[in-house]
């Protein structure tokens, strides 16, 4: 949890285009990527082919529109199918990764929707004319050298000492677009807990060894493993950080004679661990002798365990999603991490909560919107995979704020449109980390014209999220902002639109204009192209200056 800012440039073009052979002559809505001068979002009746495999429909359309996409070859050779599923509306949703001579192009993912033999949308910016961008085919440094360069940079610029490394994502060779060029590079993940937590992503030039880019992807998640116990499911009772009583699902082990914070009733389980004020994870599975958790030391664990269950229930009951990965992954949390640690994060495997210093923060698991915020980062990682930098990173943060707030309303635990208010500055009444209803209250922009364009905080991911947060608030509650009136459609519909945009339309490098197009399309899918919901989405983004 932090606050701050970001950058981005985009243009939106809407209008009639010549209908391709095989497509009906409908208007196609388009968003153009300003840097690459290629479409980053297209919707409409794009291509029809009864009885043709949905994947083949995409390839045929891309080949037919080769002059627009300029991939430099047959689509089947340049786009590799990486996922395929059928959504609740009957759309076949596919994601393709752009490849160059078999090597993945960083961030270049295309999402495609097909229903009833018709290709209806494509989203995601692809990199054109790679053959003309001087990509070097040979690499002069090995994987191990790239990893060593990244680790040395961590020591010199971040930790000032050798960090305690953990397993991260495997290093992979990629094509990395850099300005007007494209370079052969390694994507290296350096993950560590001490002396400070970090989950850094590095792009290392495979020829020179230069660091082309780096950022802290602290809020990305992957399924973790850890100790569990065999036993009987039971229900315990305890008191949370704010003093409220909660009933929690536990497991009794007759072998050990203890009750454990292990909930076997949801997916592959919810597990809560005691970090014992150290920085080693996951710690010990929380154990109690009588299934009553009323000690002050228990409070952070009670809330982490209970609220993880609420978040699981929200995504399952409201969106039909089973845990953060959609496949019932276990949810693991560690409380009492470090001493006086003022943060909460995904370390890449699980949730981690500090106790706070008592002045800036209370134990962070005491905020239901904080728990839901962090778990939503994991949902994002398994769906759109939004890069945690610049505009895509700000969308990533905004999605976590939006669903953190919606979970708070779902649980009806003193809900509001503030973020982290329950555990932030306990000595100061009425403040919060951020506000969705009034981002400017805490110095965050509420309009695209006021966006942060510096480099701090990964290009302002926590600051510029305020622009999207304000749009989401207006879409739900309505109001007039910068002279634009928005008709509110309520929290439930707002949540369904943003969820559909996140899961089925956004791609790793989506920017604010692509988010607008994705939300418009999601609303059209759910409520009809001529619906009030679609008009309200357009009004909300107009009000914050995103087109």
Task: Give me the active site residues, please.
Answer: 374, 462
Residue 59: closest CA among 45, 40, 78, 44 = 78
For the stretch 365-375, pLDDT in tens is 999 999 999 99
Looking at the fold, whether 329 and 418 belong to one and the same domain comes out as no
Q: Where are the beta strands (DSSP E) in 275-409?
A: 284-285, 287-288, 292-293, 331-337, 344-346, 351-354
Residues 339 and 413 grouped into a single domain = no
pLDDT surpasses 80 at 377: yes
Q: Give the CA count within 13 Å in the CB-facing half-sphere of 96.
A: 26
CATH number at residue 196: 3.10.450.40
Please say if the pLDDT value at position 24 is more than 50: no
As for how many domains the chain has, the answer is 4
Strand partners, 93: 85, 113
Q: Which domain holds residue 48?
A: 11-128
| Strand, helix or coil for residue 27 | coil
Q: Would you place residue 137 in the very low, low, confident or very high pLDDT band (cuts 50, 70, 90)?
A: low
Average pLDDT over residues 138-159: 94
> Per the domain annotation, does 18 fall within a domain?
yes
138 domain-assigned:
no
530 and 405 within one domain:
yes
Q: Give the model's confidence band at 197: pLDDT under 50 very low, under 70 low, under 90 confident, else very high.
A: confident
Same-domain check for residues 502 and 419 = yes
Residues 396, 378: one domain? no
**Range in 33-37, 138-142, 226-230, 531-535 with the lowest mean pLDDT:** 226-230
CA angle 6, 433, 474 (to 5 degrees): 70
Which of the four pLDDT bands, split at 50, 70 and 90, describes residue 217?
confident
- pLDDT value of residue 166: 86
> Taking 80 as the threshold, does the pLDDT of residue 441 lie above it?
yes
Last residue of a domain, one of 382, 401, 436: 382
Output the pLDDT for position 181: 87
* Strands 284-285, 287-288: pairing kind: unpaired
**Where does the pLDDT of residue 228 fall: very low under 50, low under 70, confident under 90, or very high at 90 and above?**
confident
Token pair in block for residue 194: 């001490």
Residue with tokens 């958790």: 293
Looking at the fold, whether 248 and 365 belong to one and the same domain comes out as yes
322 and 413 in a single domain? The answer is no
The average pLDDT across 348-363 equals: 93
d(C-alpha 491, C-alpha 499), whole Å = 12
Structure confidence by residue, pLDDT tens digits, 174-196: 999 988 889 999 999 999 988 88
Residues 300 and 394 both lie in one domain: no
Query: Are residues 409 and 377 located together in one domain of the fold?
Result: no
Assigned domain for 151 exists: yes
- Whether residue 394 is found in the same domain as residue 367: no
Binned at pLDDT 50, 70 and 90, residue 13 comes out as very low
Residues 400 and 495 placed together within one structural domain of the fold: yes
Q: pLDDT category, 224, cuts 50, 70, 90?
A: very low
Judging by beta carbons within 10 Å of its beta carbon (0-12, 13-18, 19+), is residue 14 exposed, middle or buried? exposed
Other C-beta atoms closer than 10 Å to the C-beta of 311 total 29
For residue 470, tell me if it sits in a domain.
yes
Q: Are residues 433 and 539 in the same domain?
A: yes
pLDDT of the residue at 43: 96
CATH number at residue 473: 1.10.390.10
Q: Is there a contact between 125 and 71 (Cβ–Cβ < 8 Å)? A: no
Distance between CA atoms of 149 and 143, rounded to whole angstroms? 10
**213 in helix, strand or coil?**
strand
Q: How confident is the model at residue 27 (pLDDT cuts 50, 70, 90)?
A: low
Last residue of a domain, one of 322, 347, 382: 382
The pLDDT tens digits of the residues spanning 241-250 come to 999 999 999 9
The whole-number pLDDT of residue 9 equals: 24
pLDDT reading at 19 higher than 50: no
The rounded mean pLDDT for the chain is 91
Q: Can you spell out the DSSP letters for 247-306?
A: EEEEEEETTTTEEESEE-SSTT-EEEEE-TTSS-SS-EEPEESSSEE-SGGGHHHHHHHH
Structure confidence by residue, pLDDT tens digits, 85-133: 999 999 999 999 999 999 999 999 999 999 999 999 999 999 999 988 8
């Amino acid at each position: 949890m932090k606050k701050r800012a970001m950058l981005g440039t985009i243009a939106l073009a809407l209008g009639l285009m010549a209908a391709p052979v095989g497509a009906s002559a409908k208007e196609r809505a388009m968003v153009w990527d300003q840097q690459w001068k290629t479409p980053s979002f297209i919707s409409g009746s794009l291509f029809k082919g009864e009885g043709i495999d949905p994947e083949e429909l995409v390839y045929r359309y891309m080949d037919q529109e080769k002059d627009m996409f300029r991939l430099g070859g047959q689509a089947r050779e340049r786009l590799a199918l990486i996922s395929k599923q059928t959504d609740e509306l009957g759309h076949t949703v596919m994601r393709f990764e752009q490849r160059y001579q078999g090597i993945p192009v960083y961030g270049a993912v295309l999402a495609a929707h097909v229903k009833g033999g018709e290709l209806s949308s494509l989203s995601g910016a692809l990199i054109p004319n790679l053959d003309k961008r001087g990509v070097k085919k040979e690499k002069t440094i090995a994987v191990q050298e790239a990893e060593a360069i990244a680790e040395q940079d961590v020591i010199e610029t971040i930790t000032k000492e050798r960090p305690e490394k953990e397993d991260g994502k495997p290093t992979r060779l990629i094509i990395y677009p850099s300005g007007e060029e494209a370079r052969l590079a390694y994507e290296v993940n350096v993950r560590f807990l001490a002396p400070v937590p970090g989950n850094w992503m590095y792009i290392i030039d495979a020829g020179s060894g230069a660091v082309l880019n780096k950022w802290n992807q602290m809020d990305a998640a992957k399924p973790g493993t850890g100790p569990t116990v065999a036993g009987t499911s039971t229900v315990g009772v305890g008191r949370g950080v704010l003093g409220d009583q909660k009933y929690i699902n536990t497991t009794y082990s007759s072998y050990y004679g203890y009750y454990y914070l292990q909930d076997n009733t949801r997916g592959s389980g919810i597990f809560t661990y005691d970090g014992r004020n150290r920085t080693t994870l996951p710690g010990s599975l929380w154990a109690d002798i009588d299934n009553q958790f009323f000690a002050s030391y228990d409070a952070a664990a009670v809330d982490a365990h209970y609220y993880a269950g609420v978040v699981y229930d929200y995504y399952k009951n409201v969106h039909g999603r089973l845990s953060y990965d959609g496949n019932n992954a276990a949810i693991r949390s560690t409380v009492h991490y470090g001493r006086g640690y003022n943060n909460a994060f995904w370390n890449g495997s699980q949730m981690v909560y500090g106790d706070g210093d008592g002045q800036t923060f209370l134990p962070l698991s005491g905020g239901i919107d904080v728990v839901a915020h962090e778990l939503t980062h994991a949902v994002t990682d398994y769906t759109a995979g939004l890069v945690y930098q610049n505009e895509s990173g700000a969308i990533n943060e905004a999605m976590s704020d939006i669903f953190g707030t919606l979970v708070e309303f779902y649980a009806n635990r003193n809900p509001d449109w503030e973020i982290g208010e329950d555990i932030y500055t306990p000595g100061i009444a009425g403040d919060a980390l951020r506000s969705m209803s009034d981002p400017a209250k805490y110095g965050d922009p509420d309009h695209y014209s006021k966006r942060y364009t510096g480099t701090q905080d990964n290009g302002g991911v926590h600051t510029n999220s305020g622009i999207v947060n304000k749009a989401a608030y207006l879409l739900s509650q309505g109001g007039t902002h910068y002279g634009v009136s928005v008709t509110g459609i309520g929290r439930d519909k707002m949540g369904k639109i943003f969820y559909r945009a996140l899961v089925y339309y956004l791609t790793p490098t989506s920017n604010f204009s692509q988010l607008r197009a994705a939300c418009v399309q999601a609303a059209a899918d759910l409520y009809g192209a001529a619906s009030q919901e679609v008009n309200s989405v357009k009004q909300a983004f107009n009000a914050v200056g995103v087109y």
